[in-house]
Amino acid sequence: MGDRRVVEDAFEEWANGEGHVSRLFAEDMTWEIAGRSAVSGRYASAADFVAGVLEPFAWRFPADHPFRPVRIRSVLEDAGTVVVVWDGAGTTVAGTPYENTYAWILRMRDGRIVDGLAFFDGSAFDELWFGVPPRNAGGG
């Protein structure tokens, strides 16, 4: 199965509430968030990215109704790199909507993401990050 299909399958599972794209992260993955949002910068490992961004982001949504992809606009593959442009949405623990469009550039190795670069609307993200207190940071 090609890298494009692996990524498409992971996004489909995530959209259906049957998993998360993070299952594709290589442990030694690096991830960069472009721009000037609260979480912009480079993360040195999958664990750093999950702890610094994905978990606190998830805590801003109800556990039983997490943020998910709602539309995949495009998935392209070239020379070991998969580009996914997608829309995500969810209702926060504060009852407010959050929607954003993302472009992820994923360098792949053996069906795993080894390097990611993400672009999104940083203003919308920061409104969520600073405007919605996370539910119990222990995840519950």
pLDDT in tens, 25-81: 999 999 999 999 999 999 999 999 999 999 999 999 999 999 999 999 999 999 999
What is the reported pTM?
Answer: 0.94
Query: What is the C-alpha separation between 98 and 126, in angstroms, rounded?
Result: 11
Query: What is the C-alpha separation between 8 and 84, in angstroms, rounded?
Result: 9
* H or E element in which residue 126 lies: helix 122-131
* H or E element in which residue 32 lies: strand 25-33
| Eight-state DSSP code of residue 116 | E
pLDDT in tens, 79-131: 999 999 999 999 999 999 999 999 999 999 999 999 999 999 999 999 999 99
Query: What is the C-alpha separation between 14 and 19, in angstroms, rounded?
Result: 5
Query: What is the C-alpha separation between 97 and 11, in angstroms, rounded?
Result: 21
Query: What is the C-alpha separation between 100 and 118, in angstroms, rounded?
Result: 12
